[in-house]
Structure 1
Amino acid sequence: MNEQILKGRWTELKGQAKEKWGRLTNDEIDQVDGNVDQLIGKLQQRYGLVEEEARKEVNAWLEAR
């Protein structure tokens, strides 16, 4: 799924993102607003991941959608 599709489907997917990454607050999920880089940054902050790990997690999650 590319970033444009994610942006268009974010309202639908944000509940699933909250389930997957429960440490993210509702405000943080809203701030992401379908932006992959924003999501990766939030995961780095909340989970202490390096960018590459966070990117792999997001990509794997998106592939499953």
Structure 2
Amino acid sequence: MNNDVIAGKWKQLAGKAKAAWGELTDDELTRTEGNAERLAGLIQERYGKTREQAEKEVRDFFDRNP
């Protein structure tokens, strides 16, 4: 899914993202605006994952939620 489509559908996907990464706040998810890099950075920081792990989780999330 391309970044424009993700940003456009982000309000719908934010709830699913909250379920997937419950430690992220609603404000943090809103600020990402569906930007995969920002979301991966938050996941990396909050969950102590490597950049590669966080990016893979985000890619998998967007692939499962077209």
TM-score (norm 2): 0.93
Q: Percent of aligned pairs with the same residue? A: 42
Structure 1: gaps of 5 or more residues = none
Structure 2: gaps of 5 or more residues = none
2:10 maps to which residue?
10
Find out whether 1:31 has 2:50 as its counterpart: no
The number of residues matched between the two structures is: 65
Amino acid at match of 2:55: R
CA distance in 2, matches of 1:44, 1:16: 18
Over 6 Å off, 4+ runs: none
Using the TM superposition, give the Cα deviation of residue 5 of structure 1 relative to its aligned residue in structure 2, in angstroms: 0.9
CA distance in 2, matches of 1:36, 1:21: 14
Find out whether 1:44 has 2:40 as its counterpart: no
Using the TM superposition, give the Cα deviation of residue 27 of structure 1 relative to its aligned residue in structure 2, in angstroms: 1.1
TM-score (norm 1): 0.94
Q: Cα RMSD between the aligned structures?
A: 0.7
